[in-house]
Amino acid sequence: MTFSMKRVMAIFQKDMKDLYKNMYVSSTILMPLIFAFFYGRMDDLTVEVHFVVINLTLAIVTAFLQCSIIAEEKEKNTLRGLMLSPATIPEILGGKSLVTFILTAITIILCTMLTGYEPTNIGIIAIAIVISSLFYIALGTLMGLISRTVIEASVLILPVMFIFGFGSMFVPFAEQYPILSVIDYLPNIQLVELAAAVEAGSGFGDVLGNLGIIVAWVIIGMIATVIVFKKRELDE
């Protein structure tokens, strides 16, 4: 079966309408903007502070939004209909992910404007954020498939928000507690390290290691999502 952009856009338009009606979910976009507003009033913000807001956006907006979209489909018993429709997995997940990706991009742009973040090499940073967003979309989809309702999704996504949104707070403890050294390999920490390296003058080749780790997380997230999706397709 060939990939159909028409089916992707049809799913995208439907989800945009549903999201517009669900103020509880769409209002989560305000949280990182509020953080960005208050941080923006401070002087001499470090790269780490800027990326607290960006990582918070990826955890709250990207992951939670995607999780809620999928969970709502399950709660309304409409996801099963999509699974049985002519639409393929890439078309279904692509259409639903497009909503989240666009809203994430808009939110991050607004946040960087509020905090005054102007990266030395915007190209590298943009690539890193786009790749990172793919991981959070995959993670949100996975959590949504596991959840039965939007309320349950809201509870399940809380640890994700905490670990990936505020995970950088635990980095100083990694030296004291070796078991926490795994934190250094989380995609949010890699994103901060990449941004700091770019500000220090590093080029694309110098941050390939950071990008490689983030890409690995994306691949793992996508594989897990497809496996669970296929399982739900057979079970329900």
Three-class secondary structure assignment of 175-198? CCCHHHHHHHHCHHHHHHHHHHHH
- Give the mean model confidence (pLDDT) for residues 54-72: 87
Amino acid at 117: Y
Residues 66, 75: Cα–Cα separation, whole Å: 14
Q: Which residue has the higher pLDDT, 29 or 110?
A: 110
Residues 170, 204: Cα–Cα separation, whole Å: 27
- Give the mean model confidence (pLDDT) for residues 141-145: 88
User: CA angle 32-38-42, nearest 5°?
Assistant: 130
Of the candidates 143, 56, 70, 72, the one whose C-alpha atom is nearest the C-alpha of residue 107 is 56
Indicate if the pLDDT at residue 174 is higher than 60: no
For residue 200, which phi and psi values (nearest 5 degrees)?
-85, 0
Residue 9: predicted pLDDT: 81
* Coil/strand/helix, residue 48: helix
Q: What is the mean pLDDT of the chain?
A: 82
For residue 4, which phi and psi values (nearest 5 degrees)?
-115, 115
**Confidence (pTM):** 0.87
- Check if the beta carbon of residue 64 is closer than 8 Å to that of residue 161: yes
- Check if the beta carbon of residue 66 is closer than 8 Å to that of residue 141: yes
Confidence of residue 11 (pLDDT cuts 50, 70, 90): confident
Q: What tokens appear for 165 in the block?
A: 């949104």
Among 65-74, 118-127, 207-216, the range scoring the smallest mean pLDDT is 65-74
* Coil/strand/helix, residue 4: coil
